[in-house]
């Protein structure tokens, strides 16, 4: 996605004359001042950060604190401002408004190469004519570190990403996953104060993505590098991050731990991103405190109001995993029941992912532990506390 965006932006006349980032320029940014590179920090703060491109507001009034050692994911759909926010942090884009602080040091005026940050991008950005070892050593050699130290640190970094035996190869002789590991080694070898990653797994096939995701997690658990990670993939964000920031149209929608976002999304927008695939607009029948009844004939549900929903329509969000076939192993006894005709059923190993249609035509995604077949009519159950009801105008 980001590569599409890059090529799109490369042709964009509103780019304010800024050329598309070139691999060598970005690699060069990994060079750092020795003192800065070694120092750690307590908190990095983005205060009221905005970035406009002409009339396009890419990031708007972003307020964010990142604690030293934390892994933070910026999550949202294409165009929501994730990469712009990351580029502002990196110093690749000047801010339109606001400030960035590393503890007591204001850093938004500092050039990227002096911030002591490491970057990894979707397209690897390796030097094609240099060996793996030379690529990884780049940030250290241009700082003129003693040869012995360069060798020792490069060896360490290559070992961490398990590429010791590929040190003499050129990037073109490596798989995509291996190239991305070289890019990671090149970023961590400088011991960055902040490690920035922009969709680093997007170019990899699903199996490799999963494997690399685990590698990145392992690396973070080993090195505790403060990391900001941009992704549009909720699973990736949930799996990797200590905290997730959900962005929409350049604005923060919610910040929280994976558990908070997954179980208590603040809006239908966040819910949708967290896998609540069943989103229905339904009229409110009655409400007593947080307990609320919504629906019409064929689809009537009792749920939990997430904010004040009094009259008119409400937005209901339910995860497929919380809807089960009644009476089967996974079906709860209390709560809501809905009759559907099964339309599609997909085998998923331990369970079946299915879609059914209610009498009045609403499509419901659910999970079944036992076999269901298309055309069959089943009764579904969903616990009241897993039916989240929002105001339709909730952000």
Ligand X SMILES: Nc1ncnc2c1ncn2[C@@H]1O[C@H](COP(=O)(O)OP(=O)(O)OP(=O)(O)O)[C@@H](O)[C@H]1O
Q: Which residues in this chain contact ligand X in the complex, by CB under 6 A?
A: 1-2, 5, 9, 12, 14-15, 53, 56, 58, 76, 78-84, 232
Q: How many helices (H) and strands (E) does the chain have?
A: 11, 20
Please report how close the Cβ of residue 55 comes to ligand X at its closest, in angstroms: 10
Q: Strand pairing partners for 121?
A: 198
Tell the smallest beta-carbon distance from residue 166 to ligand X (Å).
29
Instruction: Closer to ligand X by CB, 93 or 266: give it.
Output: 93
Return the number of the residue (83 or 253) whose C-beta is nearest ligand X.
83
Q: In whole angstroms, how close is the CB of 198 to ligand X at the nearest point? A: 8
Location of structure tokens 């339709």 = 392
Closest CA to 262 of 369, 163, 388: 388
Instruction: Calculate the alpha carbon distances from 332 to 323, 327, 347, 364, 366 in Å.
Output: 9, 8, 22, 17, 13
- Pick the closer one to ligand X by CB: 23 or 34: 23
Instruction: Answer yes or no: are the C-beta atoms of 199 and 123 closer than 8 Å.
Output: no
Distance in Å, CB of 8 to ligand X, minimum:
7
Nearest CB to ligand X, comparing residues 56 and 141: 56
Extended strands (E) in the chain: 43-53, 56-67, 71-75, 97-102, 105-106, 117-121, 194-198, 227-231, 243-248, 251-256, 278-288, 291-296, 299-305, 313-318, 324-325, 336-348, 351-357, 363-368, 377-382, 388-391
- What's the chain's length in residues? 395
Output DSSP code: residue 310: -
Tell me whether residue 93 or residue 132 sits nearer to ligand X (CB atom).
Answer: 93
Q: How far apart are CA 352 and CA 347, in angstroms?
A: 5
Give 76 or 303: the residue with its C-beta nearer to ligand X: 76
Cβ pair 71, 221 in contact under 8 A: no
- The smaller minimum CB distance to ligand X, of residues 198 and 355, is found at 198
Q: Smallest distance, Å, CB 96 to ligand X?
A: 12
Cβ pair 139, 32 in contact under 8 A? yes
Which residues, other chains included, contact 202 with Cβ-Cβ below 8 Å and sequence gap of 6+? 1, 2, 3, 122
Q: Which is nearer to ligand X, 116 or 250 (CB)?
A: 250
- The nearer residue to ligand X, 14 or 310, going by C-beta atoms, is 14
* Residue found by looking up tokens 């060996």 in the block: 131
Q: For the CB of residue 77, give the shortest distance to ligand X in the complex, in Å.
A: 7
- Closest separation in Å from C-beta 251 to ligand X: 11
């Amino acid at each position: 996605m980001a590569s599409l965006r890059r090529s799109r932006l490369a042709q964009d006349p509103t780019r304010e004359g800024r050329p598309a980032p070139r691999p060598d320029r970005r690699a060069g940014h990994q060079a750092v001042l020795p003192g800065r590179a070694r120092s750690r920090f307590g908190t990095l703060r983005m205060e009221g950060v905005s970035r406009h491109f002409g009339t396009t507001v890419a990031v708007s009034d972003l307020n964010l604190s990142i604690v030293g050692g934390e892994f933070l994911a910026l999550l949202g759909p294409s165009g929501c401002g994730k990469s712009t926010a990351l580029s502002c942090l990196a110093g690749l884009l000047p801010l339109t408004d606001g400030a960035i602080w590393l503890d007591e040091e204001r850093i938004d005026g500092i050039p990227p190469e002096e911030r002591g940050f490491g970057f990894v991008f979707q397209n690897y950005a390796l030097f094609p004519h240099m060996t793996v070892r030379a690529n990884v050593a780049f940030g250290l050699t241009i700082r003129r570190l003693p040869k012995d130290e360069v060798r020792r640190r490069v060896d360490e970094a290559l070992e961490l990403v398990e590429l010791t035996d590929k040190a003499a190869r050129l990037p073109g002789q490596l798989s995509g996953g291996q190239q991305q590991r070289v890019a990671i080694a090149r970023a961590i070898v400088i011991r960055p104060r902040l490690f920035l990653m922009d969709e680093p797994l997007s170019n990899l096939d699903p199996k490799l993505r999963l494997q690399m995701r685990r590698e990145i997690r392992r690396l973070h658990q080993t090195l505790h590098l403060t990391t900001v990670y941009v992704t549009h993939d909720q699973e990736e964000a949930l799996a990797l991050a200590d905290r997730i920031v959900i962005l929409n149209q350049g604005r923060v929608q919610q910040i929280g731990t994976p558990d908070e976002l997954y179980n208590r999304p603040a809006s239908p927008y966040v819910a949708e991103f967290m896998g609540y695939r069943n989103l229905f607009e339904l009229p409110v029948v009655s409400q007593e405190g947080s307990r609320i009844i919504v629906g019409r004939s064929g689809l009537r549900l009792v749920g939990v109001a997430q904010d004040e929903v009094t009259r008119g329509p409400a937005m209901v969000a339910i995860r497929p995993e919380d809807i089960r076939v009644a009476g089967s192993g996974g079906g709860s006894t209390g709560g809501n029941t809905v009759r559907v005709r099964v339309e599609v059923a997909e085998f998923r190993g331990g369970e079946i992912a299915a879609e059914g249609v209610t009498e009045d035509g609403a499509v419901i995604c659910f999970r079944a532990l036992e076999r269901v077949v298309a055309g069959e009519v089943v009764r579904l159950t969903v616990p009241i506390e897993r039916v989240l009801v929002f105001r339709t105008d909730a952000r």
